[in-house]
Amino acid sequence: MSMDDVFKALADPMRRRLLDDLHARNGQTLGALCEGRGMTRQAVTKHLAILQAANLIATEKRGREKLHYLNPVPIHDIADRWIGKYERGRLDALATLKRDLEGQTDD
């Protein structure tokens, strides 16, 4: 639930894909989220557990199925508290970069 948990959860491409899939269609079952992923169900379960620990998804048990719902709030919080900080000074920082690194390759 900490900011670090959210960053770590977002670090894995498979977990970002899971969030993307839930963004496209919310409330999917575990089985649905496992399809076409070239990975065992247990691996996906672990990823979902990490996403849930970071409060990025919430789950609901319906009968024998488990439904998964995207929670965009922590992502918003990160954008707000951390990324925003770098964007506010963006133009200034870019100008500084240009001045200080004049002539360097843009690798």
Partner DNA sequence: TGCAAAGGCAACTAGAAGGTTGCATATAAG
Partner DNA sequence: CTTATATGCAACCTTCTAGTTGCCTTTGCA
Residues in contact with a copy of itself by CB under 8 A are 1, 4, 7-8, 10-11, 13, 16, 19, 23, 26-27, 55, 58, 60, 67, 69-73, 75-76, 78-79, 82-87, 89-90, 93-94, 96-97, 100-101, 104, 107
Which residues pair with residue 52 across a beta bridge? none
Residue with tokens 């004049």: 102
Site string for DNA, 46-85 (x = CB under 7 A): xx--x----------x-xxxx-------------------
State how beta strands 57-62 and 28-29 pair: unpaired
Return the number of other C-beta atoms located less than 10 Å from residue 5's C-beta.
Answer: 16
Residue with tokens 């977002």: 10
Considering the complex, what minimum distance in angstroms separates the CB of residue 2 from DNA? 12
